[in-house]
Amino acid sequence: MLFDVFVLNQRLRTLLSAALAGSGLRPDEYAVYSLLFDAGPVTPTEMARQMGMPLTTVLDYIRSMRERGHVARRRDASDGRAFEARLTAAGLRQFRRANAAWNEALLDFEPALGMPVREVRRALHAIDDAAARTLRGLVQRSISRAG
């Protein structure tokens, strides 16, 4: 099954790259913009948690988006050491351009599933949960062996 998921990942990367071609964002960037659009303002730590990415990777995305003028930072009121990121007006315009291309692909993709989207999402969440549990176990075993 893990090989099937690997192949699916490759195919979806190709599909999403084609769908977003000319939109100004790669699929991975679109995911970060989408999270900020849906959940922003949000701390990088929370972004990393929600996206299943290392914090350093999220910070790289934020730095790149700030250089483009697409993200603004403000100090997190609950934790003076942290900051929250939000899309700027230019970032919102860029997100909306890419979102139009994304939604066009979605109109073709979801009917092609041949089953209800909620069932697919439930299965994807089960796979994600299993991957997270397995990863935690692998990390714990690795720590035990090293200690």
Q: Can you give the pLDDT at residue 144?
A: 84
What class is the 2-112 domain? mainly alpha
Q: Can you give the pLDDT at residue 8?
A: 95
Residue 125 pLDDT > 90: yes
Q: What is the mean pLDDT of the chain?
A: 93
- Determine contact, residues 14/46, Cβ cutoff 8 Å: no
Q: Can you give the pLDDT at residue 9?
A: 93
Condensed to tens digits (0 to 9), the pLDDT of residues 17-47 reads: 999 999 999 999 999 999 999 998 999 999 9
Residue 78 pLDDT > 80: no
Residue 13 pLDDT > 90: yes
Q: Can you give the pLDDT at residue 77?
A: 77
Q: Can you give the pLDDT at residue 66?
A: 96
- Determine contact, residues 61/119, Cβ cutoff 8 Å: no
Residues 12-18: contacts with CB under 8 Å, at least 24 apart: 15/105, 15/109, 16/102, 16/105, 18/105
Residue 147 pLDDT > 80: no
Residue 145 pLDDT > 90: no
The residue behind tokens 């922003």 is 40
Supply the pTM of this predicted model: 0.84
